[in-house]
């Protein structure tokens, strides 16, 4: 009989800007949906290819300057996307 108990695994994800690993729930997910649109996934459940960033306004400048979203998701975000991201990060 196996007496070991299953540990509750906490899913870790890597921030594409800082490279730090963190709990999936503490990061913000950016998704390229199957129809090719970019969305900010507040609940982490949207279908599509995702990339994670820290929930900090300080990472916005390096994120935009280095074009990391385009590198990881293959689509260039427009200014409206970054404005939505600023609103969410300021909440």
Asked if 46 and 39 count as a contact pair (C-beta separation under 8 A), the reply is yes
Place of tokens 């935009």: 64
**pLDDT tens across 30-78, in order?**
999 999 999 999 998 999 999 999 999 999 999 999 999 999 999 999 9
Q: Report d(CA 5, CA 28) in Å as an integer.
A: 31
pLDDT for position 3: 53
* Total-model pTM: 0.87
Burial class (CB in 10 A: 0-12, 13-18, 19+), 30: buried
């Amino acid at each position: 009989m196996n007496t070991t108990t299953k540990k509750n695994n906490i899913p870790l994800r890597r921030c594409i800007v800082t490279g730090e690993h963190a709990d999936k729930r503490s990061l913000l997910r950016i998704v390229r949906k199957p129809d090719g649109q970019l969305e900010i996934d507040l609940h982490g459940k949207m279908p599509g290819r995702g990339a994670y960033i820290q929930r900090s306004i300080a990472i916005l400048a390096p994120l935009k300057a280095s074009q990391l979203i385009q590198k990881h998701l293959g689509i260039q975000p427009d200014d409206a996307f970054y404005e939505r991201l600023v609103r969410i990060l300021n909440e």
